Chains A and B, each alone.
Chain A
Amino acid sequence: MASQNGADAAFAIELKGISKAFGPVQANRDINIAVPQGTIHGIIGENGAGKSTLMSILYGFYKADAGQIFVNGQLTLIPDSQSAIRAGIGMVFQHFKLVQNFTVLENIILGVEDGPLLNTSLAKARKELERLARDYDLEVDPDALIEDLSVGHQQRVEILKALYRQAEILILDEPTGVLTPDEADHLFRILKGLKEQGKTVILITHKLREIMEATDNVSVMRRGTMVATVKTDETSPEALAELMVGRKVLLEVDKGTAKPGDVVLKVEDLRVRDEHKVERLKGVSFDIRAGEILGIAGVAGNGQTELLEALGGMIRATGKITMNGQDLPLQGKGSDGQSRRRAGIAHVPEDRHHHGLILDFTAWENIAFGYFNDPDYQKNALFMDNAAIKADTAQKMEKFDVRPPIPTLAAKSFSGGNQQKIVVAREMEQSPALLLIGQPTRGVDIGAIEFIHNQIIALRDAGAAVLLVSVELDEIMSLSDRIAVMFDGKLMGFRDPETTNERELGLLMAGMTGKEEAA
């Protein structure tokens, strides 16, 4: 333990009494944490628990209101990112800070050039990069443009950037959110390699599995405070979840077997081109039965968004879709969202901030979106019945446990999980024959995740067909009755969640079919 006046040099990072408030919101309250050198230290907590704020203070993005930072036992002031870099701290952000049309090399040297001219810096960086690639299993083409690289490779560039700046302490903020399982495994191998070389890694995540897999110690944050720091092999996912949420949480989804009925939606050879005439959906065919959840797994950007938007009537498509035996138009008249809703298709879009809600509008106004013409919402031929909408909203908020249950509050004033509950309540309460739901729990707390999952199951049990799109493989595996994997605009095949595993799905997500693997 640290001595009274200083700090123990065995700790790469030691924070003492860190507090930070944004206006009335106390984001960090008297945080103490000690990260031993040469370890992988996990920081886990729900959204808004203050993990990112804490790391931003450590990287010089925010200034703490109170508290001290010790780096390798030295009291260190970190007023800006430059000081953090000098102190040997590197950060890999969730959203990469890369210049898309620069090469890997140019991105690496940006800000740490050796002189006013680039030639020498580039040559030096190229050599150094070769060494780092050898030492840490971080292969990247130094002359590739960032925009041509996969997300996994872009992340490697971020790690290389930090290492090039001689970082001894590497912070990674939600690093696996954009990776395939294979890429994530590779990342963890890299992190273990870094640890073996004596570097210290701080891993921020909300995924319990990653914590259990990769870390030596784990600190749990809840509502701005540090509630516990424990050795990873002395704890369990259940115990961590309870620390995060403050109550017992059921991690496994409790669902009965499906009783599939008739085919509700039949999709044949569905194709979508984007504005650059590039085909994003390359002939997708499947059907969903009543009382069944079909999960679409895949890395973001492989056509899942286009699939949801085409079915939801947001974009034009070609092919054929049949709902309960009736053709639905894919372009022109009758292919809009309004008509789809009338046909019994409800849609919880992937991006709730852009397509699910108008953040500046109140909760009750948002509840009416897409259902303005609902007879219950009309006072007479001219006017809407606002009072009825508000009453209806209050009812839905209560049923879906939206907090605070105030219909007149602006949508932006709710937390991510409660915003999502508003969207889910609006769509599910219409008792749709088919529910399209994209990333149902993105940016949603564990407690709300449990709730939304249960609602999806309840809707299925009530006889609705559900098309679930998610990049979270855990979510797909635990909710779906059937799993289809999407890659490059095509379905790679269907799997039964009972008999498949993450490795098989991961290979499909990377575009490798079983045959190729065998070959």
Chain B
Amino acid sequence: MDYGSLLQILDSTLRLATPLLLACIAGLYSERAGVFDIGLEGKMLVAAMASGAVAASGMTLVFSIPYASTEIVLVSPVVFGLLAGILASLLFALLHAVTSITFRGNQLIAGVALNFLASGLTVLVAQSLFGQGGRTPPLEGNARFNPINLPFADAVKDVPVIGPFYHEVISGHSILVYAAFAIVAVTWWVMYRTRFGLRLRGVGENPAAVDTAGVSVKGLRFSAVMITGVLCGLAGAYMATALQAGFGKEMTAGRGYIALAALIFAKWRPVQAMYACLLFGFFQALALRPDVVESVVRIKVPVPFLDALPYLLTVFVLAGFVGKAIPPRAGGEPYVKER
């Protein structure tokens, strides 16, 4: 394998890890607060559909300069798409929160119900809006998040080893990729350095301790689930407007579950979650380059096997082969005040 192929695979790894990472960090907020969320998949899916549909509508906010025929685009369709995705995902998160926090329903069943709802609803709405077999129309131009070239990318391109790495792997992704990695850092800081993080982790471990300290358990859990909604919205919007050009039926393809597996793998810690998602992303990237895999292992590997790798790894992780992962102690349990 040459250096060029390696860089291409690493480049794909970043792109493919991003939706996993966003969903995984989304799950981290909710689960750290004691609300298990198996509905990451559903939230991503509705966000993907909503963002694809709104971006495809071409909705734009422009500012026309008086007495001149020039217009400045203030908000492009893709930004509206992103907002729509976040909104749709938030709506689902709200449903999850009301069911499992306010009415103390079973968190897992609520999550599964949301996944089913998303699976059917997205195709139905897309079909009735666009009549293209449940897809949203292909997006182009400013209806998509386009790659950003980082400063000096072209200038350092010819520096040996590091130059191509910067140019090929680090530079040239959409803004959401960079946002995802920034969110990891922010999340670490929020969790371990702020009052909100302390209380959030406390409420996932022992809500009674937080309650007797005079802090609202419901309030904290609601905020956590809402943050989950926003981050899943980003993940879904990234799928439809950056990774691909439009929404397609079941396009998340189990990424919500892979994100959950990564979360368990990482033992509910943000930085480790990033590594886990990169690993899963790397496996997904391998499936795109069977020729490279073949040249490395020197036997012909069936492509379906490569496709299945991330899912096999998921099963492997969930079956507990990576050591005992202790979830937040109060996870999955609605909080009932008692003495």
Interface residues of A (CB under 8 A from B): 52, 56, 59, 61, 80-82, 85, 91, 93, 95, 97-102, 106-107, 109-113, 115-119, 121
In the complex, what's the smallest C-beta–C-beta distance from B192 to chain A, in angstroms? Answer: 8
Known: A81-B212, A91-B212. 9 other contacts (CB 8 A): A52-B339, A61-B337, A80-B214, A85-B214, A97-B213, A98-B209, A99-B202, A110-B209, A117-B193
Chain A residue nearest to B215 (CB atoms) is A111
Question: In the complex, what residues of B have CB within 8 A of residue A117's CB?
Answer: 193-195
Q: Are B337 and A116 in contact (CB under 8 A)?
A: no
How far is the CB of B335 from the nearest CB of chain A, in Å? 13
Please name the residue on chain B nearest to A115 by beta carbon: B195
Contacts of B214 in A (CB 8 A): 80-82, 85, 111
Q: How far is the CB of A315 from chain B (nearest CB, A)?
A: 20
Q: Are A100 and B198 in contact (CB under 8 A)?
A: no
**Chain B residues near A (Cβ < 8 Å):** 193-199, 201-202, 205-206, 208-215, 329, 337, 339
Separation of A97 and B198 alpha carbons in the complex (Å): 15
Q: Are A97 and B209 in contact (CB under 8 A)?
A: yes
Closest 9 CB pairs of A and B: A111-B213, A82-B214, A97-B209, A113-B195, A97-B212, A99-B205, A81-B214, A99-B202, A99-B206
30 A-B residue pairings within 8 Å (CB atoms): A56-B339, A81-B211, A81-B214, A82-B214, A85-B214, A95-B208, A97-B212, A97-B213, A98-B209, A99-B201, A99-B202, A100-B205, A100-B329, A101-B205, A102-B198, A102-B201, A107-B209, A110-B209, A111-B199, A111-B214, A112-B213, A113-B195, A116-B195, A116-B196, A117-B193, A117-B195, A118-B193, A118-B195, A118-B197, A121-B195
Please give the distance in Å from B83's CB to the nearest CB on chain A.
27
Q: Once the chains are docked, how many angstroms separate the CA of A115 from the CA of B202? A: 17
Given contacts A97-B208, A99-B202, A100-B329, contact A110 B213 (CB under 8 A): yes
Tell me the minimal C-beta distance from A139 to chain B in angstroms: 22
A61 touches B339 (CB 8 A): yes
**How far, in angstroms, from A296 to B198 measured CA to CA in the complex?**
42
Chain A, interface SS category: loop
Contact partner of B209 (CB less than 8 A), chosen from A52, A61, A80, A99, is A99
Contact B208–A106 (Cβ < 8 Å): no
B211 to A, closest residue via Cβ: A81
Bound together, the chains give a CA A91 to CA B211 distance in angstroms of 13
The CA of A90 and the CA of B251, in the complex, are separated in Å by 54
Residue contact B337 to A97, C-beta cutoff 8 Å: no
Q: For the complex, what is the distance from the CA of A134 to the CA of B31, rounded to whole Å?
A: 39
CB proximity of A13 to chain B, nearest CB, Å:
19
A111 CB to closest chain B CB (Å) equals 3
- Bound together, the chains give a CA A61 to CA B208 distance in angstroms of 11
B282 CB to nearest chain A CB (Å): 31
CA distance A449 to B235 in the complex (A): 62
B194–A118 CB distance below 8 A: yes
How long is the Cα–Cα vector from A97 to B337 in the complex, in angstroms? 12
When the two chains form their complex, are residues A111 and B337 in contact, meaning their CB atoms are under 8 A apart? no
* A452 CA / B102 CA spacing, docked (Å): 44
Which of B196, B206, B208, B210 counts the most chain A CB atoms within 10 A? B206
Contact of A110 with B198 in the complex, beta carbons under 8 Å: yes
Task: Give the residue name and chain of the A residue nearest to B189 (CB).
Answer: A117
Contact A111 B210 (CB under 8 A): yes
Closest residue of chain B to A59 (Cβ to Cβ) is B212
Q: CA of A115 to CA of B212 in the docked complex: distance in angstroms? A: 19
Closest A-chain residue to B203, C-beta based? Answer: A99
Which of B198, B215, B329, B339 sits near A106, CB closer than 8 Å? B198
- Chain B residues, CB < 8 A from A91: 212
A91 to B339, CA, bound (A): 12
Chain A positions within 8 Å of B196 at CB level: 116
Q: Are A102 and B329 in contact (CB under 8 A)?
A: no
Q: What B residues does A59 contact at CB under 8 A?
A: 212
CA distance A52 to B339 in the complex (A): 8
Smallest CB separation, A261 vs chain B (Å): 47
Determine if A93 and B205 form an interchain contact, defined as CB atoms under 8 angstroms apart. no
Residue from B195, B212, B337 whose CB has the most chain A CB atoms within 10 Å: B212
Residues of B contacting A121 with CB < 8 Å? Answer: 195
Interface centre among B199, B201, B337, B339 (most CB of A within 10 A): B339
Question: In the complex, how many angstroms separate the beta carbon of A493 from the nearest chain B beta carbon?
Answer: 37
Q: Which residue of A lies closest to B212 (CB)?
A: A97
CB distance B206 to A97 under 8 Å?
A: yes
Task: Give the CA-CA distance A360 to B329 in the complex, in Å.
Answer: 26
Contacts of A116 in B (CB 8 A): 194-196
Residues of B within 8 Å of A81, CB to CB, are 211-214
